[in-house]
Amino acid sequence: MRALVTGADGFLGANLCKALLAAGHEVTGAALSRKGHTALDALGVDVRLEYGDVLDAAYLRRLVNAYEPQWVFHLAAVSIVRIAQADPRRAIETNVMGTLNLLDACRCGNVEAVIVASSDKAYGDYQGAPYEEAWPLKPTGAYELSKALEDTLARGWAHFATTRICVTRCANLYGPGDVNWSRMVPNSCRRIAKGESPEVHPAAWQYQREWLHVEDAARAYLLLAEQGATGEAYNVGSGHVATAGQVARMLARLGGVQAPVESPWQGIVEIPSQRVCWARLASLGWTPQWELHLGLAETLAWYRRYQGGAA
């Protein structure tokens, strides 16, 4: 199949490109601009890249017309909570209008399936109860609002589109290839590779998350491109729930370093507890392959190799 991945140079995007190529698909990536060192570089994924802004509708139409993708994976977004919090207009414009432009471009092409990346954060705060897809979205911040709007737009668009469209709501991702050092797992792994303790934001010690290995997420995307029902949302989780503090302590033990320390406070308040019910995805035959402790060990080993090569 011919696949187009927007946000291809990001953490999930690069891992998805890697999985698509490994499965024998032809892949075109789209990215905002040429950057110094991306997740594609870190993973050693060689994919054709086209640069442009998803807010440029003509650019997206050109991509779809030129490469005639059968599958489109829309991951391009303002995806960092603190950036969305600092500039809500940018987050909403990019995540909502960018998605609208992409869906409209696909309407004019011969696209079979579009998978739009929403987020479990779109649900809002349900006090730790496992999110179910039928629950109302109750966003609690700028990032959450932008993803809830994007999510609703994609599912609504599916009702009158000939293209099959579905939405993913992934749990908290970790794994190889994340070079965004503001995130706890990659930053902690980088620190451990230098013999230092992991870092946790002061308010995040007790934040409870469901931890999903990025390779499991990529497999879910490929399955949904083949079998996802149009207009539906699919939670993607692992069943492995832990606080940020617990994960940091696991990494410290795996790395043989001192206990985690507090990182500088960034003034970000997030949903205290999040987990998902992924029975709908399981009904398609999907199951996660990575157990948390083994996934963290593999992730730390990857960062040690990566840091050694970068040194």
Question: Which of the residues are catalytic?
Answer: 143
Contacts of 160-164 with C-beta under 8 Å, sequence gap 24+, read 161/103, 161/106, 161/107, 161/230, 162/107, 163/103, 163/106, 163/107, 163/111, 163/112, 163/113, 163/114, 163/230, 164/112, 164/113, 164/114, 164/228, 164/229, 164/230
Cβ(235)–Cβ(277) under 8 Å?
A: yes
The rounded distance, in Å, linking the Cα atoms of 86 and 78 is 11
Cβ(103)–Cβ(114) under 8 Å?
A: yes
Rounded to 5 degrees, what angle do the CA atoms 297, 177, 268 make? 90
Secondary structure of residue 149 in the 3-state scheme? helix
Q: How many residues does the chain have?
A: 311
Tokens of 78: 């303002």
3-state helix, strand, coil in the chain (%, to 5): 45, 15, 40
The two beta strands, 164-170 and 2-6, are: unpaired
Which single residue is written with the structure tokens 């960062």? Answer: 303
Which residue blocks in the chain are alpha helix, DSSP H? Answer: 11-22, 39-43, 57-67, 81-86, 88-92, 98-107, 142-157, 184-193, 214-227, 244-255, 279-282, 292-310
